[in-house]
Amino acid sequence: MEIGKIPENVLKRSVMRQLTTKREEVLVGSAVGEDCAAVVLEPDEEFVLSTDPITGTAKDIGNLAVLVTTNDLASAGATPIGIMLTVLLPKGTEEATLKEIMQQVNAACEAANIQVIGGHTEVTDVVNQPVLSVTGVGKVKRGKLISTGGAKPGMDLVATKWIGIEGTAIIAKEKEAELRAHFPDVIVDEAIGLDAYVSVQKDGEVAAAHGAAAMHDVTEGGIFGALWEMAEASSVGLDVDLSKIPIRQETVEICEYFDVNPYQLISSGCMLIATSDGSGLVRALADAGVAASIIGSTTDSNDRIIRYDGEMRYLEPPKADEFHKVI
C-alpha cells in the first residue's frame, strides 16, 4: 500500500469487516468518517483510561495491543469497554498484513468482550514495521478504583502466574530458529505458548473483589521495575524474597542463553498486588485457576530490599528493559 490514509474500500474490507464485538455502552463507534467515539455510563460509574504503544515486535501485534491495554484497565479494577486504535504501517505493506492484524485485534476483543470504538489507519515512511497505539476505555463503580499507589506499610505483596511471560514469548517467536538449534523443541514450544497467559483480567477481577489495595501490571522493566514503581507511588518500603518470585524454567533457560536478567524482562501476564490478606488472596486466585505467590511485604521505611540466599541488596530505579538487548 502507498503512503497516506488507507483507501476507503480497504478500510471497509480489511478493517471494519474484521470487527464484530459490540458493547451496549457505545453510542458512536468505528465508522467511516466518524471523528469521535461516544460512550455512556451509569450515574454510579467512572471512566478509566489507559494508553500504550506496541513497538518492540510485529509478531502477533494485534493480540498484544489489546491485551496490554486491557491489563492496564484490570490493574485499576476496571471493566474494559473498548479501545481506540491507531495503526501505522510502513510503505509497501500488503493489505493482507493489515487484515491479519485486524483479525488478531478482533479475536482479542472478542475474548475480552470489548469493542473497537474508533481509530486511525495509515501507511507512513516514518516506521519500518507495523506500530499500534491503543487507548483503552473502561469503567469502574464509584469508589472502587484501585491505583498503583494504594499500598500501605505491612501489606503482603502477591505476584500472579510468573515473571517474564511476555518477554519470553516474544523472544521465542522472534528468535525461534536460533533457539530451536540450541534447545529441545519442547522448551521453545512452551516458551512460545506462554502468550496464552498474557491477560491479567481474571487476576485483576479476583484481586479487586478480595479488596486489593494496589495493583500494577508488570510490564517494561520487569518485576524489579514494577516493585520500584509501586513503592514509589505508594511511598512505602519493600522487603522481597527473590526465591519466592515465580518464574518458568523456559524463561530461565532463554534468559541465560541471551544473557539477560529475567527480573528486568517485560512481564505482562504477571500482576503485582498489595493486600492486607496475601494468603487469602492466593487461595482466591487458585480457586479461579490463577497461580500466585506471596513474594514479600511493604514496610514503613524508605528501604527497598531484595533478599536472596542470606544476602541483601537494595532495589534500584527501573532501567531499560532487558528485552531490548535481544530484539
pLDDT tens digits for range 190-210: 999 999 999 999 999 999 999
Is the confidence at residue 148, as pLDDT, over 80? yes
Task: Please name the amino acid found at residue 3.
Answer: I
Give the residue from 14, 166, 19 showing the smallest Cα distance to 105. Answer: 19
Percent of the chain residues topping a pLDDT of 70: 100
Task: Give the model confidence (pLDDT) of 113-140 as tens digits.
Answer: 999 999 999 999 999 999 999 999 999 9
Residue 11 has pLDDT above 80, yes or no: yes
CB count, 10 Å around CB of 207?
30
pLDDT of residue 200: 96
Classify 4-141 by CATH class: alpha beta
What per-residue confidence (pLDDT) applies to 59? 85
Enter the C-alpha cell of residue 221.
522493566
Q: How many residues does this entry show for the chain?
A: 327
CA 106 to chain centre: 17
* Burial class of residue 287 (count of CB atoms within 10 Å of its CB; 0-12, 13-18, 19+): exposed
Taking residues 46-67, report their average pLDDT. Answer: 90
d(CA 157, CA 151): 9
The answer to whether the CB of 271 falls within 8 A of the CB of 218 is yes
pLDDT digits (tens, 9 = 90+) for 250-270: 999 999 999 999 999 999 999
Rounded Cα–Cα distance for residues 88 and 136 (Å) = 18
Class of domain 148-326: alpha beta
**Mean pLDDT of the 172-176 span:** 95
Q: What is the DSSP letter of 131?
A: E
Report the helix count and the strand count for the chain, using DSSP H and E. 11, 14
Confidence of residue 51 (pLDDT cuts 50, 70, 90): very high
Cα–Cα dist 21/28, whole Å:
14
Residue type, 156: D
At residue 137, the 3 state secondary structure works out as strand
The confidence score (pLDDT) of residue 57 equals 81
Quote the pLDDT of residue 26. Answer: 92
139 CB burial (10 A radius; 0-12, 13-18, 19+): middle
Q: Which residue shows C-alpha cell 468482550?
A: 113
233's enclosing H/E stretch is helix 222-234
Rounded Cα gap, residues 115 and 48, in angstroms:
15
Domain boundaries of the chain, sorted by first residue = 4-141, 148-326
Cβ atoms 146, 77 nearer than 8 A = yes
201-209 vs 278-287: helix crossing angle, rounded to 10: 130
Quick one: CA dihedral 144, 161, 259, 64, positive or negative? Answer: negative
Task: Decide if pLDDT at 245 tops 80.
Answer: yes
Say how many C-beta atoms besides its own lie within 10 A of residue 128's C-beta. Answer: 9
Cα–Cα–Cα angle for 37, 39, 42, nearest 5°? 170
